[in-house]
Amino acid sequence: MALEWVVLGYAAAAEAIMVILLTMPGLDALRKGLIAVTRNLLKPFLSIIPFCLFLLMDIYWKYETRPSCDGDSCTPSEHLRHQKSIMKSQRNALLIASALVFYWILYSVTNLVVRIEQLNQRVERLRKRE
């Protein structure tokens, strides 16, 4: 199961890097290439959404089937294992949320940058006509 979380972490990191590169000022020379690469990667990155839903269902299933550790019914090692399991579930849920939010931001920013490029080209054409 750990490989799935590594893949999701790398995907979220790649999305974050692309958002940073698209929004960073001063990279106008690279922007067209970045836009092309990002637009081509948006469709494959769309598979993150069902993947995140699957992992979220996995967290929920583990939460529902986890043995409860209430009061004095557990040894200290069982209590520690229970707390570690809760912490891992919370960390993984945060990773899922960040991957989904970064995908949404990347999609929105890419569409805005493409729209800005189209408007800039339209302005240049109008200036040339005048």
DSSP string, 46-101: TTHHHHHHHHHHHHHHHHHHSPP--GGGS-HHHHHHHHHHHHHHHHHHHHHHHHHH
pLDDT of residue 58: 87
Task: Spell out the domain ranges in the chain.
Answer: 2-128
Question: How high is the pLDDT of residue 76?
Answer: 79
- Which pLDDT belongs to residue 1? 58
Helix, strand, or coil (residue 26): coil
Listed as ranges, residues in the chain with pLDDT below 70 are: 1, 71
Model pLDDT for residues 71-94, shown as the tens digit of each residue: 677 787 887 888 888 888 888 899
Provide the sign of the torsion angle of the four alpha carbons 123, 112, 23, 19, taken in this order. negative
What pLDDT is stored for residue 27 in this prediction? 80
Res 98: pLDDT: 93
